[in-house]
Amino acid sequence: MVDLARYEKQILFKPIGRNGQIRLGQSKVGIIGVGALGSNLANILCRAGVGRIILADQDRVELSNLQRQMLFTERDIGHPKAIRAARRLTKINSDVAVEAFFEKVSQENFVELFKDSDLLFDASDNFPTRFLINDMSLKLGIPWVFSGVTASSGQSMLIVPTKTACLGCFIPDEDPGENFPTVNNSGIIASIVASIASISAAAGIKYLMEKTADSNLVYFDVWQQEFFKTKIEASLNCLRCRSEKLRSK
Amino acid sequence: MKINVEFVGAINPGPYKKKQSFEVKDKATVKVFLETLEHIDKGHLSFVQVVCNGTRASHTQLLKEGDRLELMLMVGGG
């Protein structure tokens, strides 16, 4: 039996309330990637009382991760991120069932890992994986939150199959190729990770409460203090979601 | 015709100022304008989101005199 006293202040927040808190406790989410975004997202969602959290990542913790990957300590170095994150999350909130998979998410294991999820969070570090999430989300009918961060910038968008634009509607190519700004060549500060993870977690929790989506892309640069929100319309020419759109009519 | 452009966040302004006016040909599209920014790798242009006068613009949208564009690069780290 979950003690709702833990969530007293969150329940006071009217859009969630007691019923919303119970709904959160009955929800299952998947987080693809347990690096910077993934560990921040998992921290927020676990503390918020999401009932089941699935973590998947094939990497091990490195010293250079500790600057921004909030769930890890020096004792975790060399160990699988997903496993160590799950251990930490269980200590933070034992009401939450956390399942960890030390493996790369692929087309082959996607359904097995994330079937029956209410919502997925993209915390990957490359666009091909994001397009895998996009395409599997369309196939399985599972909404997901697109996130990305580099340097001091990041973006977030809730994508709901047949209700909002999909990733292919506004990014037509899967892979930007060489010289694209990445964490490895442009660096990253922890503030943008925490900011985008917070925006994405809030969008996800709101979706679990209300089951609505506004198709807004949020773009934020924490260093320049620039914040943009723009509505993304579904593209009728998008080959990825066009068949799903037609099917839903 | 003249348009006003702002480079937002992670996108590199290259030789230009963060806020800069550009001369473009009549009936130029967003894509045609983006391709004139030679410091941006052509393979990265699909990842540039454009907001025109406060509304997201597709790369096929026609530009007009006085348009105010904001360019944002979708970033991929996680």
Mean pLDDT of all residues in A113-117:
96
Predicted confidence at residue A125, as pLDDT, reads 96
Average pLDDT over residues B17-41: 96
Is residue B29 scored above 90 in pLDDT? yes
Cβ <8 Å between B8 and A221: yes
pLDDT-derived band of residue A247, with 50, 70 and 90 as boundaries? low
Interface of chain B toward chain A, CB-CB under 8 angstroms = 8-10, 12, 41, 43-44, 46-47, 49, 51, 55-56, 58, 70, 72-78
Indicate yes or no: CB of B47 within 8 angstroms of CB of A124.
no
Averaged over B16-38, what is the pLDDT? 96
Residue A248 has pLDDT above 90, yes or no: no
> Can you tell me the mean pLDDT for A134-142?
97
Which whole-number Å values give the CA distances from A201 to A30, A66, A95, A193, A234, in the listed order? 12, 21, 19, 12, 23
Give the pLDDT band of residue A242 (cuts 50, 70, 90): confident
Task: Kindly tell me if the per-residue pLDDT of A165 is higher than 70.
Answer: yes
Contacts A126 to B, Cβ<8 Å: 76, 78
Q: What is the mean pLDDT of chain B?
A: 96
What tokens does A240 get? Answer: 């990825």
A23-37 pLDDT per residue, tens: 999 999 999 999 999
CA distance A188 to B61: 33
Mean per-residue pLDDT for B41-63?
A: 95
Nearest to B43 among A152, A171, A176 (CB): A176
Q: Which residue of B has its CA nearest to A127?
A: B76
Residues of chain B with C-beta less than 8 angstroms from the C-beta of A232? 56
Structure tokens at B36: 């004139």
**pLDDT above 90 as % of chain A:** 93
For residue A181, which residues of chain B lie inside 8 Å, CB to CB? 10, 12, 73, 75-76
Question: What value of ipTM does the predicted structure carry?
Answer: 0.92
Which residues in chain A have their CB less than 8 angstroms from residue B55's CB?
Answer: 230-231
pLDDT value, residue B39: 95
Asked if the model's pLDDT at residue A246 lies above 70, the reply is no
Which residue on chain A is closest to B7 by alpha carbon?
A: A226
Mean pLDDT of chain A: 95
Contact (CB<8Å) B76/A176: yes
Give the per-residue pLDDT at A217.
97
Nearest CB partner across the interface for B78, out of A123, A171, A231: A123
Which pLDDT does position A213 carry in this prediction? 94
Q: Are B66 and B43 in contact (CB under 8 A)?
A: no
Distance from CA of A184 to the nearest CA of B (A): 9
Per-residue pLDDT at A245 exceeds 60: no
What are the structure tokens assigned to A95, written together?
């009401």
CA torsion sign for A18, A114, B76, A157 is negative
As a whole number, mean pLDDT of residues A45-58 equals 98
pLDDT for A1 equals 76
| pLDDT reading at B25 higher than 60 | yes
Read off the pLDDT of each residue in A74-90 and give the average, rounded to a whole number: 98
With a CB cutoff of 8 Å and minimum separation 6, the contacts of B8 are: A219, A221, A224, A226, A228, B70, B71, B72
Contact between A233 and B56 using a beta-carbon 8 Å cutoff: yes
Say whether B46 and A124 touch across the interface (CB within 8 A): no
